[in-house]
């Protein structure tokens, strides 16, 4: 495992950030904050999807008044997103928010920055310095010859210096850009000059699926280097997708305890007897809202499936119009092909409650393994050991190379 960079710890409400705390997932509501019920509905959906901290815009008095009603009813801490009006930051703190996000490119007067930081200090409210490549201070842009990592880091450190003037240190920083290499460079540079917790993100990553790829490329690269304490996928999509993506990334990297199904599936081959894509998609949908921290496999054939996915908690492989269920590589049951997904759900729920050993113990493994062996032999007879004709291709390659 990679070693995480040591940062100072702060609290955002009751959620710890930095200081070795688990990496948190953030997102942002897209409702009008003045729409209290609509915003709360979205916040609860985000929390259910794995979001730890949520940001709401506070761009007008009605939004601040909405926050006063939202904060006490929210299941997770609320951060107020502040842009050009520093008084909205003061109003948001009056509303009881747990944190603020300030963009140095938008609030530039030092006296305004210090006023907000002083009030946050007195109220024990954290602030994120949110540097954004798209709204960099023009003076920095000009002096650094454009949007560069050094310009973004200087912007963050300048803002941090204003905070330090009033003895305020409940801070985290982001230096987001829509260009992935630039974003990675900026965070690497920033991590060398401060121990403040860092919030990772590729800003304006865009719609799916490209947005997933860009955000993952930047965030995962840094996390694997031990950089980052909290993350957000900035997608042009339902914010629930952001929370799910962030949670899944952290689980995949082993940085958060698994809460949901990790569905693995083979890419299919000439031996597959089912539409693996269809079955995997139906399984993914069936498990979408079930909090089952299991690895589940969907395999196209019974010849190699149970062996290739032997580390999965549960899996199913197709063979001779039947589905062969296996637990930790052991065949446990045979079901009709049409009931493969339903059977996976049933066995997954049993395993979640009772464990894999109990699941194997309740099965007639002798019968299941005999039937799997029979269908495996039939598949080999029908399609041969080399269903993808790898051997023939290798022979041709050797002939070509030998003839040169």
Spatial CA neighbour of 103 closest among 74, 76, 132, 77: 132
| pLDDT of 390 above 70 | no
Backbone phi, then psi, for 146, in 5-degree steps? 120, -170
264 - beta bridge partners? 297
pLDDT band at 242 (very low <50, low <70, confident <90, very high): very high
Average pLDDT along the chain: 92
Q: Is 94 left (phi over 0), alpha (psi -120 to 50) or beta?
A: alpha
Question: Picking from 63-67, 234-238, 396-400, which range would have the lowest pLDDT averaged per residue?
Answer: 396-400
Backbone phi, then psi, for 351, in 5-degree steps? -65, -40
Distances, alpha carbon 363 to alpha carbons 325, 326, 356, 358, in Å? 10, 10, 11, 9
Cα separation, 150 vs 260, whole angstroms? 39
pLDDT tens, position by position, 303-327? 877 788 888 999 998 877 889 999 9
| pLDDT of 350 above 80 | yes
244 close to 51: Cβ distance less than 8 angstroms: no
Spatial CA neighbour of 173 closest among 151, 192, 195: 195
| pLDDT of 56 above 90 | yes
The residues, ordered by sequence, that sit 6+ positions from 229 with a Cβ below 8 Å of its Cβ are 7, 17, 18, 21, 23, 24, 172, 197, 198, 199
Cα separation, 226 vs 64, whole angstroms? 36
Question: Picking from 126-135, 268-277, 312-321, which range would have the lowest pLDDT averaged per residue?
Answer: 268-277
Cα separation, 142 vs 378, whole angstroms? 71
Cα separation, 137 vs 155, whole angstroms? 8
Report which DSSP code applies to 218.
H
Backbone phi, then psi, for 312, in 5-degree steps? -70, 150
C-alpha torsion 59→60→61→62, nearest 10: -100
Most confident of 104-108, 200-204, 387-391: 200-204
Spatial CA neighbour of 30 closest among 304, 243, 306, 316: 243
The residues, ordered by sequence, that sit 6+ positions from 54 with a Cβ below 8 Å of its Cβ are 26, 27, 28, 29, 43, 46, 47, 74, 76, 77, 78, 79
| pLDDT of 383 above 70 | no
What pLDDT is recorded for position 384? Answer: 66
Most confident of 191-195, 277-281, 394-398: 191-195
Segment 125-151 shows an average pLDDT of 93
| pLDDT of 404 above 60 | no
What pLDDT is recorded for position 364? Answer: 94
> What domains lie within the chain, and their CATH numbers?
10-252 (3.20.20.20), 262-383 (3.30.413.10)
Segment 40-54 shows an average pLDDT of 96
pLDDT band at 302 (very low <50, low <70, confident <90, very high): confident
Backbone phi, then psi, for 175, in 5-degree steps? -130, 75
| pLDDT of 343 above 60 | yes
Cα separation, 258 vs 240, whole angstroms? 18
């Amino acid at each position: 495992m990679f070693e995480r960079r040591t940062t100072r710890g702060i609290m955002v409400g009751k959620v710890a950030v930095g200081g070795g705390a688990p990496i948190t997932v953030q997102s942002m509501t897209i409702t009008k904050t003045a729409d209290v019920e609509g915003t709360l509905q979205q916040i609860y959906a985000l929390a259910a999807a794995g979001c730890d901290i949520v940001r709401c815009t506070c761009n007008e008095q009605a939004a601040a008044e909405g926050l006063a009603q939202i904060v006490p009813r929210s299941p997770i801490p609320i951060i107020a997103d502040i842009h050009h009006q520093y008084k909205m930051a003061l109003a948001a703190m009056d509303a009881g928010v747990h944190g603020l996000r300030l963009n140095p490119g938008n609030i530039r007067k030092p006296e305004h920055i210090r006023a907000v930081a002083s009030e946050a200090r007195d109220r024990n409210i954290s602030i994120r310095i949110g540097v954004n490549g798209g709204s960099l201070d023009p003076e920095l842009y000009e002096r650094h010859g454009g949007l560069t990592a050094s310009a973004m880091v200087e912007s963050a450190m300048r803002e941090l210096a204003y905070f330090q003037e009033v003895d305020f240190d409940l801070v985290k920083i982001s230096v987001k850009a829509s260009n992935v290499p630039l974003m990675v460079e900026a965070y690497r540079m920033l991590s060398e000059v401060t121990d403040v917790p860092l919030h990772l993100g590729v800003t304006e990553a865009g719609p799916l699926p490209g947005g997933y790829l860009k955000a993952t490329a930047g965030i995962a690269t840094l996390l694997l280097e031990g950089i980052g304490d909290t993350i957000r996928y900035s997608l042009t999509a339902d914010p629930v997708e952001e929370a799910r993506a962030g949670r899944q990334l952290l689980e995949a990297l082993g940085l958060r305890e698994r809460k949901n199904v990790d569905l693995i599936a083979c890419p299919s081959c000439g031996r597959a007897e089912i539409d693996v894509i269809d079955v995997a998609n139906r399984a993914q949908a069936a498990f979408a809202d079930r909090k089952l921290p299991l690895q589940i496999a969907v395999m196209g054939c019974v010849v190699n499936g149970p062996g290739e996915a032997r580390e999965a908690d549960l899996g199913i492989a197709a063979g001779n119009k039947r589905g062969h269920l296996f637990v930790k590589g052991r065949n446990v049951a045979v079901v009709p092909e049409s009931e493969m997904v339903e059977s996976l759900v049933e066995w997954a729920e049993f395993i979640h409650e009772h464990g894999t050993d109990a699941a194997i113990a309740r099965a007639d493994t002798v019968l299941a393994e005999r039937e799997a062996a029979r269908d495996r032999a039939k598949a080999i007879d029908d399609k041969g050991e080399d269903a993808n004709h790898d051997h023939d291709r290798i022979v041709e390659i050797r002939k070509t190379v030998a003839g040169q």
